[in-house]
Every structure is written in structure tokens, then in C-alpha cells.
């Protein structure tokens, strides 16, 4: 399981993803109330978990390097 959910996001990127996710979810409930707002679940969950599955597949990591 640890190979799947490897932390590969920087703290600043995680904050941006959570804010973006919450912003998109408000579109589904408050704004024009379109189902497209539910796409906000993706950045919200990846931001909360700190792991992006696409980054894992591509071998990308924006975390600070460990010394």
C-alpha cells in the first residue's frame, strides 16, 4: 500500500490543491450547480493525501529532497 500512496507533493502544492478542490466543489453546490463541480474531489483528495497517482505513474515528485 505504501508504494501506491507515496507522498510526492510539496506542502505548498497540497494547499493549492485543497483550495482548488474546495473552490470547484462550491460550483456544484452554491454557484451554477453543475455536476462539473464534482471534479473538485480529485484535487481535494490528492491534496489531503499528499499523493498524486499521475505523479506516481510518471515518476514525478515535487517534495523537498531528503538529505
Over the chain (67 residues), what is each successive 10-residue block's mean pLDDT? Answer: 79 96 94 92 96 91 77
Kind plus residue range of the DSSP H or E element containing 54: helix 53-58
Contact 26, 36 (CB under 8 A): no
pLDDT digits (tens, 9 = 90+) for 33-50: 999 999 999 999 999 999
C-alpha span between 32 and 38 (Å, rounded): 12
pLDDT value at residue 67? 55
Q: What is the DSSP letter of 10?
A: -
With CA atoms as reference, report the closest residue to 52 among 20, 2, 5.
Answer: 5
Rama region for 59: left / alpha / beta (φ>0; ψ in -120 to 50; rest):
left
Amino acid at each position: 500500500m505504501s508504494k501506491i500512496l507515496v507522498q510526492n507533493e510539496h506542502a505548498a502544492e497540497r494547499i493549492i490543491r485543497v483550495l482548488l478542490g474546495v473552490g470547484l466543489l462550491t460550483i456544484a453546490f452554491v454557484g451554477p450547480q453543475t455536476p462539473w463541480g464534482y471534479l473538485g474531489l480529485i484535487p481535494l483528495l490528492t491534496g489531503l493525501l499528499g499523493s498524486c497517482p499521475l505523479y506516481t505513474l510518471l515518476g514525478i515528485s515535487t517534495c523537498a529532497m531528503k538529505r
